[in-house]
Amino acid sequence: MTPPPDNGPNKRDRREEAREKARVAREAAAKKKRRNRVFAQGGLVVGVLAVATVVVLIIVNATGPGAPGPKNMASDGILLQGNASTGAVTAVQTAALKGGEAPKATDQKAMTKTVNITAYVDFQCPYCNQFETTNATQINEWLKKGAVTYEIHPLAILDASSLGNKYSTRSANAAACVANYEPDKFLDVVAEFYKNQPPEQSNGLGDDKLVSMVKTAGATNASIPKCITDKTFEKWVGDATQRALTQKLPNSSVAKLTGTPTVLVNGKQYGGSLTDAAAFASFVTSQATAK
């Protein structure tokens, strides 16, 4: 007997085949979904690692080794003293701070024969200018007689007041260049800086003008102009400023700098008029007798 012809799968077989295809499709879709999730998570991890790397680099750059400082400013300031016999005013010489080396505070306890004046200043600061122009003559006279020492810390906290010119930083760097190469001219340079101080919220003065002022003040060492234009001690200026703003001021009870000028006399902060020389002289005398 001849078998009947093959008419293909019956209804039941077709239903089972459809179910199997649906199952395979569901498994494939589930695998794809899991794979995409893994890739997405992997991308997130890579992104997080990249951000973490950037943050670490920023922190490292912000807290990296400090910059070398100028000679004769191991305390972050320059210490000036006078000779009563000759009337000469000279800077106390110290070695330059190495990169990352902490400043060495002046040992005022050993300086018992003088009244010791310390000033934290910004050459863009108009109040610093007031204090300087009011008291410069009598401070110089005290120095020449050997009655006082005068330690000046040039800082940069008013860069925003020179419309991007960063005059505070550049003038402090210029002062550091003078301290490094011709320290005995430091007071003359300070006087010249204040004489030509640019107004706040102006464009400040350029490096060429700083070089010119330094020369006019008598600091003619051939290495100073390049030191100014190269901004050799710019990073050190920033480090010294940050230290003053965040750490206790040496030889005093002042927790940190909160403004300029900050003037200390034998460790006591002067809070009187910046434009009254007699008031400052009285304060200095009072601290001399308190020793």
Tens digits of residue pLDDT in 46-94: 333 333 333 333 333 334 568 999 999 999 999 999 999 999 999 999 9
Domain range for 212 is: 78-289
The pLDDT value recorded for residue 66 is: 82
The pLDDT value recorded for residue 276 is: 98
Same domain, 219 and 86: yes
The reply to whether 26 falls in a domain is yes
The reply to whether 105 falls in a domain is yes
Same domain, 24 and 127: no
Same domain, 39 and 108: no
The reply to whether 101 falls in a domain is yes
Same domain, 59 and 21: yes
Same domain, 138 and 240: yes
pLDDT digits (tens, 9 = 90+) for 190-244: 999 999 999 999 999 999 999 999 999 999 999 999 999 999 999 999 999 999 9
Same domain, 41 and 126: no
Same domain, 115 and 142: yes
The reply to whether 179 falls in a domain is yes
Q: H or E segment at 170? A: helix 167-181
If you average pLDDT over residues 138-166, what whole number do you get? 97
What distance in Å separates the CA atoms of residue 96 and residue 77, rounded to the nearest whole number?
A: 11
Cis peptide before 9 (omega within 30 of 0): no
pLDDT digits (tens, 9 = 90+) for 32-59: 655 555 444 444 333 333 333 333 333 3
Same domain, 159 and 47: no
Weakest-pLDDT range from 7-21, 96-110, 247-261: 7-21
The reply to whether 236 falls in a domain is yes
The pLDDT value recorded for residue 12 is: 61
The reply to whether 73 falls in a domain is no
Q: How far apart are the first and last CA of the chain?
A: 136
Same domain, 84 and 59: no
For the sheet containing 89-91, what is the strand order?
89-91, 78-82, 148-154, 115-121, 262-265, 268-269
The pLDDT value recorded for residue 36 is: 54
If you average pLDDT over residues 91-110, what whole number do you get? 96
Token pair for 187: 């007071």
The pLDDT value recorded for residue 4 is: 37
Domain of 95: which CATH number? Answer: 3.40.30.10
The reply to whether 6 falls in a domain is no
The reply to whether 82 falls in a domain is yes
Same domain, 54 and 98: no
Q: For all residues of the chain together, what is the average pLDDT?
A: 86
Weakest-pLDDT range from 11-20, 104-113, 137-146: 11-20
Same domain, 156 and 199: yes
Number of domains making up the chain = 2
Is the alpha carbon torsion for 161, 164, 165, 169 positive or negative?
A: positive
Buried-exposed string 212-224: b where 16+ CB fall within 10 A, e elsewhere: ebbeebebeeeeb
If you average pLDDT over residues 169-187, what whole number do you get? 98
**DSSP character for 197?**
P
Same domain, 31 and 175: no
